[in-house]
């Protein structure tokens, strides 16, 4: 049984791509009942796109009671209606499942005892909130985030201790068995339709859902503190932004209307944008897990300018010089200008990155690693 609050289709963002990759791996050895909680649109999309005889999608509604809504507003994250818990328990008892596989930890609070539990934690709760507190823009927001972290800490620890196996994207400080399943450029590996092209155009590329706060805040920081300085040095520099959703932040929307910025929403094919860009940026300062957009940039043979936080779990790529970390505007401006000012060396670096990624990123190895652990 696979349980999640969203489905794997369409795989247009990192969250859904990893969900689909995990599901595809599980399908190799198991018949899977995939239970989607609350997102009917995702369920309907899954029914349309599923072509497998060994995967069946199911749906349960998540209608919040007055009490649940009130507790959510107070900041309790791991709270769900008692009626939903009863429905999930009834679903679990329909069959003798080998184990329950949960996308993220929170759905497991509804799983009855006596069933093996495996969770793809992905975003560690403590890492997520600690980074958000550190980057909070006001004292009130820091206090509020700290409050939410504290009132949910006990439940989070209890859920962790009930796991038979925790799947993580990088080594975490957990007192339970954990399996590291790093993020890969899943869709690029599945499609295999990208033909490498070197590019020394003065075009930077940012790919990421702009309704996701870490993406929105990181890109806003870049547009305010880095991009104007780059334009002063390279007037024909262009920033290409790809997102599958419009940002909710009005300030970011305004910034995206600036000079030499092109924005494309719901691009049908990312390959053409990578081919026309020479450097990928990933200015991420908060969140958890690891950034799939970083791996995707490397897979397409592009150097990635990120931050120390944004490049977590990509030690190999950093050590090889494929990912450059810059936490300050000065350092990021310098790193980008250095790459763009040496077009011959940039093209050679791009080919090195692409060749390395082609031999290092393997879905087959990733699948075997997961299945062997299970």
pLDDT digits over 16-48, tens only?
Answer: 999 999 999 999 999 999 999 999 999 999 999
The beta strand positions in the chain, using DSSP E, are 2-4, 32-37, 55-60, 100-103, 117-120, 165-168, 178-180, 203-207, 238-243, 261-265, 279-282, 304-306, 323-325
User: What domains are there in the chain, each with its CATH number?
Assistant: 2-181 (3.40.50.2000), 187-360 (3.40.50.2000)
pLDDT digits over 116-172, tens only?
Answer: 999 998 777 888 888 889 888 889 999 999 999 999 999 999 999 999 999 998 888
Q: How many CB atoms lie within 10 A of CB 313?
A: 19
Closest CA to 217 of 310, 130, 147: 310
**How many CA atoms does the CB half-sphere of 96 hold within 13 Å?**
0
pLDDT digits over 214-251, tens only?
Answer: 899 999 999 999 999 999 999 999 999 999 888 888 99
Q: What is the pLDDT of residue 289?
A: 63
81 or 279: which leads in pLDDT: 279
- If you average pLDDT over residues 257-281, what whole number do you get? 91
């Amino acid at each position: 049984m696979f349980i999640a609050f969203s489905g794997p289709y369409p795989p247009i963002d990192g969250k859904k791509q990893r969900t689909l990759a995990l599901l595809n791996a599980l399908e190799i050895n198991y018949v899977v009942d995939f239970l989607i909680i609350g997102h009917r649109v995702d369920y309907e999309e899954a029914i349309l796109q599923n072509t497998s005889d060994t995967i069946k999608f199911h749906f349960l509604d998540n209608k919040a009671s007055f009490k649940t809504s009130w507790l959510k507003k107070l900041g309790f994250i791991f709270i769900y209606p008692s009626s939903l818990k009863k429905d999930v328990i009834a679903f679990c008892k329909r069959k003798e499942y080998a184990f329950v596989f949960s996308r993220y930890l929170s759905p497991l609070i509804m799983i009855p005892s006596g069933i093996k539990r495996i969770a793809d934690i992905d975003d560690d709760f403590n890492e997520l909130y600690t980074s958000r507190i550190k980057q909070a823009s006001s004292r009130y927001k820091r206090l509020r985030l700290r409050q939410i972290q504290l009132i949910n800490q006990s439940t989070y620890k209890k859920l962790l201790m009930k796991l038979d196996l925790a799947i993580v994207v990088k080594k975490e400080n957990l007192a339970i068995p954990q399996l590291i399943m790093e993020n890969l450029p899943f869709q690029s590996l599945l499609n295999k339709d990208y033909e490498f092209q070197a590019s020394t155009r003065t075009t930077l590329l940012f790919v990421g859902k702009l309704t996701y706060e870490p993406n929105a805040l990181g890109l806003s920081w870049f547009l305010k503190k880095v991009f104007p300085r780059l334009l002063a040095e390279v007037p024909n520099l262009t920033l290409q932004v790809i997102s599958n959703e419009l940002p909710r932040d009005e300030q970011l929307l305004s910034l995206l209307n600036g000079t030499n910025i092109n924005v494309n929403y719901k691009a049908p094919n990312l390959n053409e944008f990578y081919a026309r860009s020479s450097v990928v940026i990933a200015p991420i300062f908060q969140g958890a897990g690891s950034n799939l957009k970083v791996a995707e940039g490397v897979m397409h043979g592009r150097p990635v300018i990120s931050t120390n936080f944004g490049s977590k779990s990509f030690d190999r790529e950093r050590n090889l010089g494929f990912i450059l970390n810059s936490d300050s505007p000065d350092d990021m401006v310098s790193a980008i200008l250095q790459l763009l000012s040496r077009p011959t060396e940039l093209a050679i670096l791009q080919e090195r990155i692409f060749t390395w990624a082609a031999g290092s990123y393997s879905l087959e190895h990733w699948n075997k690693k997961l299945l062997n652990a299970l």
